[in-house]
Amino acid sequence: MIQVLTLSDAKVPRAMVEASVETISYAGIGPTAISLSWTESTDFTFTSYALRESTAGPVGPWSVVANIFDKANTTYYFAGLAPGGTEWWEIVYQNTTGSRETIPPLQSTQPPVASLTVSQTTSTSAQLVWDNNAGYGGHLAFASYQLMKSANGGAFSLETVISDYARHSYTVSDLLASTSYSFYLITTDQCTGCPASFPSPSSSNTVSIQTPGPLTSAISAPTNPVEVGEPASFTCAAGGGVPPYTYSWGFGDGAAGEGAMLSHTYGTPGVVAVSCTVTDNLGTAAKDSTDVMVGSDPSIVTFTVSPSTLLPGDKVTFDVSASGGYGALSYSYANLPPGCLTTNSTSLSCYPTSSGNYRVTVTVTDRGMESANATAVLTVGPQRVLGLSQAMGLAVIFGGVAAIGVLILSIFLTLRRKRRPPALTTG
């Protein structure tokens, strides 16, 4: 029968004179357990084995772990040892006349507990890797790995149980963003061939990770329309995730680029969808996109004035034809003659009231505040006589001037005649 974790205070008789030829060794050893075995006694007067342990050194002091009275029982499973601790073991062979010890005693050092490491594979998963330093054999056998998990400093709970000794990794999935997680591993060994399993657990070190916040991508693009042929600047800002980040762009016209800040020039007008994809150090990707208006500068095709020469009070019409630009165009006129007011229209009609030469300018402006202008010359002649044509008016003006001149000459001659002295007569 196998004795397991049995302590005894039985006294060990005085040592026998014969030299010991027996040895003690272990067939299996783990962080907290050991499976011992020794040479079977050939003494016909055998009474018992006394298993003794020392934590001080090979010369003791010794503590009796168990007294075994079955001569054929030469194995023992002992649990509850300290990981990394060193012990010395010996068997005292006892018979009816005395006793002798195994020389030299067995020195054993318990292996360390499992070493656990963690690495974050994605923003919502982590891979845990560990080792197993036990040497299984004899009565010492592997039972299970139990992975424990805690979130944000809370109580640990069982994440999974693994019964495959050779499996030394596990991926934890569905982790929450912006959360602190801690893990440790319980490696449980047990006694095989014993009346009970007598589990011998040992806990690894504790590892922790902080899951990142959700990965984000945000484009900063020009708010005004982008003009054809002019470079436009774009910026992509990343947030959350695990840096460093990489940036990849699609500019909507077939062109692509990389980097957080880029400049791009468009060749044709239209609405394009610009996108930026941010990828973090874990391979997680986030995409942002925005529409950008690409337009050409406005231009004036024609600007006419009809008629270009007229008299005050006549009607004049300005017509403008424009193309390009972004959105609806607005129009304004400058240097108009008196009697004409500017209007937001492609056509302006009015009646000038003053003569002169006028260089009228029209300005066309689009929604992007890009503009173009053109000039037309209007000549407004002298003031006409009311109710008469131009020719008649001129005749009247010149006739009036002549009549006034004749009248002045007549008055002059009349006055001169009145001042002439009387003629002298002779008799």
DSSP 8-state secondary structure symbol assigned to residue 244? -
Cα–Cα separations (whole angstroms), residue 118 to 129, 206, 209: 6, 10, 8
Q: Identify the helix (H) or strand (E) that includes residue 290.
A: strand 285-295
Examine the domain organization and report whether 89 and 154 are in the same domain.
Answer: no
401 in any annotated domain: no
Give me the DSSP letters along 359-375: EEEEEEE-TTS-EEEEE
Is residue 402 included in any domain, yes or no? Answer: no
Same domain, residue pair 9 and 87: yes
Domain count, the chain: 4
Domain termination residue (choose one: 109, 133, 150): 109
Structure tokens at 134: 């036990």
Distance between CA 217 and CA 238 in Å, rounded?
5
- Domain limit, last residue, from 190, 210, 230: 210
pLDDT grade, residue 254 (50/70/90)? very high
- Asked whether residue 409 is domain-assigned, the answer is no
Best-predicted range by mean pLDDT (108-117, 324-333, 375-384, 411-420): 108-117
Domain membership flag for residue 398: no
Among 4-13, 61-70, 80-89, the least confident range: 4-13
Q: Which DSSP symbol is given to 123?
A: T
- Residues 126 and 198 grouped into a single domain: yes
pTM: 0.64
Q: Is the dihedral of CA 391, 397, 401, 407 positive or negative?
A: positive
Q: Does residue 235 fall inside a structural domain?
A: yes
DSSP 3-state percent helix, strand, coil across the chain (nearest 5): 5, 50, 45
Q: How confident is the model at residue 56 (pLDDT cuts 50, 70, 90)?
A: very high
Look at residue 303 and tell me if it is in a domain: yes
What percentage of residues in the chain have a pLDDT greater than 90?
74
Q: In what order do the strands lie in the sheet with 232-239?
A: 216-220, 232-239, 261-264
pLDDT of residue 415: 52
Domain boundary residue among 252, 277, 295? 295
pLDDT, greater one: 179 or 420: 179
pLDDT tens profile 187-206:
999 999 998 999 999 999 99
In contact, 36 and 24? CB cutoff 8 Å: yes
Structural domain includes residue 416: no
Residues 92 and 11 in one domain: yes
Same domain for 273 and 331: no
User: When comparing pLDDT for 419 and 355, which is higher?
Assistant: 355
- What is the rounded average pLDDT of the residues 404-409? 50
Which residues, including other chains, have CB under 8 Å from residue 417's CB and lie 6 or more apart?
none
19, 55: one domain: yes
| Per-residue confidence (pLDDT) for residue 426, from 0 to 100 | 39
User: Which is it for the CA torsion 306, 308, 309, 314, positive or negative?
Assistant: positive
Is the CB of residue 171 less than 8 Å from the CB of residue 125?
yes
The pLDDT of residue 223 is 83
pLDDT digits (tens, 9 = 90+) for 98-129: 999 999 999 999 999 999 999 998 889 999 99
Q: Tokens 């036990």 — which residue?
A: 134
Coil vs helix vs strand at 379 = strand
If asked whether residues 8 and 104 sit together in one domain, one would say yes
Q: Assess whether 337 and 363 both reside in one domain.
A: yes
Domain that holds residue 151: 116-210
- Residue 44 shares a structural domain with residue 90: yes
Question: Are both 373 and 305 inside the same structural domain?
Answer: yes
The predicted model gives 29-50 an average pLDDT of 96
Q: Do both 13 and 101 map to the same domain?
A: yes
Answer yes or no: is 403 within a domain: no
Per residue in 362-391, pLDDT (tens digit) is 999 987 788 999 999 999 998 655 544 444
Do residue 32 and residue 96 come from a single domain?
yes
What CATH number has the domain bearing residue 131? Answer: 2.60.40.10
